[in-house]
Each structure stands twice: as structure tokens, then as C-alpha cells.
């Protein structure tokens, strides 16, 4: 916990005392949760990306109704955008889980005050 600013470290210690743990253990749990969040974002990002690509391919293969083709393509692109967002979130959580954990703790502190 030497990399954590002093006021956040003290807050973690207070929270840990209330839950019957140490601040360092609580910090490790929050960091591990960021890795789990990254895995969830990755799974849903890949799933949505696959759905988006299939939707876009189907939109190009339908040649009888141009309105439905355009609608399917638009839906596919929106889903693809959401998939890219989830994958970017996943990368951020994998790359630097400590920063995401710190963001989460600061967010919790902001709501408490």
C-alpha cells in the first residue's frame, strides 16, 4: 500500500476495520475485482463484436429490400461501437488495475461525503 496516497490509505484502513480485514487486504481485493471486471468486459465485447459482424454481413447479403439492409447495417454498426467501447474498457482494466481501483475508491469517497 506504499503507492496509495495517505488519505486514501487511511480511508481503506477505516473501511477494513469495519469489515474485519486489513487495509492492504481490502486494496488487493479491489484490484482483483478490476481484473474480474476486465474479463467480463472482454467477454461481452467479443460477444457483441461477433454479433455486430454477423449483423453487418447479413445486411450485405440481403439484396431484396434496401431499407432492411440499411437498418441492419446501422444496427450492426451501433453494436460494433458498443463492442469497441467494452474492449477499450477491458484493456484499461487489464493494463492498469491499480488506477481503476483508485478511481473506484475515490468515487466511493465522493459519494460518502
Cα 63 from Cα 35, distance rounded (Å): 44
Per-domain residue ranges for the chain? Answer: 37-97
Using one digit for the tens of pLDDT, what is the confidence trace for 16-63?
A: 777 666 667 778 888 999 999 999 999 999 999 999 999 988 888 866
Q: Average pLDDT in the 59-82 region?
A: 82
φ/ψ region of 22 (left if φ > 0, alpha if ψ in -120 to 50, else beta) reads: beta
Cα 100 from Cα 92, distance rounded (Å): 8
* Residues ≥6 apart with Cβ < 8 Å to 11: 105, 109
Amino acid at each position: 500500500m506504499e503507492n496509495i496516497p495517505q488519505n486514501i490509505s487511511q480511508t481503506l484502513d477505516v473501511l477494513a476495520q469495519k469489515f474485519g480485514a486489513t487495509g492492504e487486504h481490502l486494496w488487493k481485493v479491489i484490484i482483483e475485482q478490476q481484473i474480474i471486471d476486465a474479463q467480463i468486459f472482454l467477454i461481452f465485447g467479443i460477444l457483441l463484436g461477433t454479433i455486430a459482424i454477423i449483423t453487418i454481413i447479413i445486411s450485405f447479403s440481403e439484396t431484396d429490400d434496401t431499407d432492411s439492409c440499411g437498418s441492419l447495417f446501422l444496427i450492426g454498426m451501433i453494436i460494433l461501437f458498443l463492442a469497441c467501447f467494452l474492449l477499450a474498457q477491458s484493456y484499461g482494466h487489464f493494463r492498469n488495475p491499480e488506477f481503476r481501483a483508485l478511481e473506484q475508491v475515490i468515487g466511493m469517497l465522493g459519494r460518502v461525503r
